[in-house]
Amino acid sequence: MKELIVIAAGFACLAAAGADAQTRNCAQRERVVTRLGETYGEGRQAIGLAASNQVVETWANLESGTWTVTVTTPNGLTCLVASGKSFERVDEEVAKASEKDA
């Protein structure tokens, strides 16, 4: 659940930043992934497909709690859209419609 919130926050940041601001925090995917791993010890925790076939990923270091949300375009350009601290894995069940009404 928290991963979805992080991804949603990433979309909001991406939309607010605009295309010009994004390019300052973008590089080829391999370079970004290597830096996240080597510098922050972050590994991929979640992945999803957004509009225009863009891949949204959440990266995190489960020991230190740092996290980063990236968006990768079909041409391989990866942009950092959000980052922070205190990442936690959450495994929550989704309430069914009948449970919400009760």
Is the pTM here over 0.75, yes or no?
Answer: no
Q: What is the pLDDT of residue 32?
A: 97
Q: What is the pLDDT of residue 21?
A: 44
Q: Which residues does 55 contact at the CB level (< 8 Å), separation at least 6?
A: 47, 48, 49, 71, 72
DSSP secondary structure code for residue 91 in this structure? -
Q: What is the pLDDT of residue 99?
A: 61
List the one residue out of 92, 67, 73 whose CA is nearest residue 19: 73
Residues 20-30: b if buried by 16+ CB within 10 A, e if exposed: eebeeebbebe
Residues 79 and 26 sit within 8 Å (Cβ to Cβ): yes
